[in-house]
């Protein structure tokens, strides 16, 4: 075979390998957390991320940028927890960070998954009969803050879109919420609601939380309408309980 042809094939293969490379951390240290604490945290500093007492299931959620109900994994993945310190390569884009965590889980925990789409009960965020009661604001850097204290919840958002509002509500309710308001632009508002049962004790969520959220967003001229929605699921086919050594 012509050697020039072989050289062209090798060059093409090398180029393909480079474009097919997965985003990855420059370095990562993983340690099992056996503290028994139920709390976890994630803090980013310049050039690195530090995740503390993070369950394997939560790591998978973050790696695929999905909500808890979108991950189908063995029950034990919620019980094993880890501390991870990972260094980003220089000039890492925000959008590449979940993929870097995915690469880490694939390499160190042998994670293998596949996707499935399911029709699940959820909600459509719509404009209430009285019309939208908030107006678009000047587009600035958006922000979201949720504080909960003994059943009292405060949600404060700055310059976010209606699809983002739907996403926040989905995380609060643990269910899929899709935006069907047709409202464009960015919005800022503060909402308060209290999760108390009939005896004044903090509620455990569920129907009580939905009713409280429904009443709160009603002040904005918004409403949650029960519907079936298509949801993309992440199904874990295989994952190791113990990661490979650092």
Question: Would you list the DSSP string of 123-181?
Answer: EEEEE-TT------B-----EEEEEEETTEEEEEEEEE-HHHHHHHHHHHHTS-EEE-S
Q: For 22-38, write each residue's pLDDT tens digit.
A: 999 999 999 999 998 88
pTM comes to 0.68
Q: Which residues of 46-76 are buried (b: 16+ CB within 10 A; e: fewer)?
A: eeebebbbbbbbbbbbbbbebbebbbebeee
- The predicted pLDDT at position 123 comes to 95
> Which residue is it, tokens 């209606």?
162
Distances (CA, A) of 171 to 24, 146, 175, 203: 27, 11, 7, 17
* Tokens matching residue 97: 């960070």
Q: Is the pLDDT of residue 152 over 90?
A: no
Question: Which strands, in side-by-side order, build the sheet including 71-72?
Answer: 71-72, 222-238, 112-127, 177-179
Of 15-29, 30-44, 165-179, least confident by mean pLDDT is 15-29
Q: Which residue has the higher pLDDT, 100 or 143?
A: 100
- The predicted pLDDT at position 199 comes to 42
Of 42-51, 66-75, 141-150, 196-205, least confident by mean pLDDT is 196-205
CB atoms closer than 10 angstroms to residue 86: 20
Mean pLDDT of 48-59: 95
Q: For 70-115, write each residue's pLDDT tens digit.
A: 999 999 999 999 999 999 998 888 889 999 999 999 999 999 999 9
Longest dimension (CA), the chain: 85
Q: Calculate the average pLDDT of the chain.
A: 86
* Tokens matching residue 25: 């951390």
């Amino acid at each position: 075979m012509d050697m020039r042809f072989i050289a062209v094939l090798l060059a093409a293969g090398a180029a393909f390998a480079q474009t097919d490379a997965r985003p990855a951390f420059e370095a990562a240290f993983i340690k099992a957390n056996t503290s028994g604490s139920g709390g976890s945290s994630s803090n980013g500093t310049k050039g690195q991320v530090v995740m503390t007492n993070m369950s394997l299931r939560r790591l998978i959620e973050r790696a695929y940028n999905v909500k808890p109900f979108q991950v189908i994994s063995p029950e034990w993945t919620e019980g094993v927890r880890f501390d991870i310190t990972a260094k980003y390569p220089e000039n890492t884009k925000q959008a590449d960070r979940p993929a870097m965590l995915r690469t880490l889980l694939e390499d160190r925990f042998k994670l293998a998954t596949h996707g499935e789409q399911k029709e699940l009960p959820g909600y459509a965020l719509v404009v209430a009969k009285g019309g939208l009661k908030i107006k678009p604001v000047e587009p600035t850097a958006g922000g979201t803050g949720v504080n909960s204290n003994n059943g009292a919840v405060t949600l404060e958002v700055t310059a976010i879109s209606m699809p983002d509002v739907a996403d926040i509500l989905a995380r609060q309710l643990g269910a899929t919420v899709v935006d069907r308001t047709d409202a464009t632009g960015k919005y800022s508002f503060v909402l308060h609601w209290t999760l108390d049962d009939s005896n004044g004790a903090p509620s455990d969520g569920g129907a009580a939380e939905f009713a409280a959220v429904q009443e709160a967003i009603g002040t904005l001229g918004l409403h949650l309408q029960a519907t079936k929605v298509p949801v993309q699921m992440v199904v874990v086919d295989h994952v190791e309980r113990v990661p490979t050594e650092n």
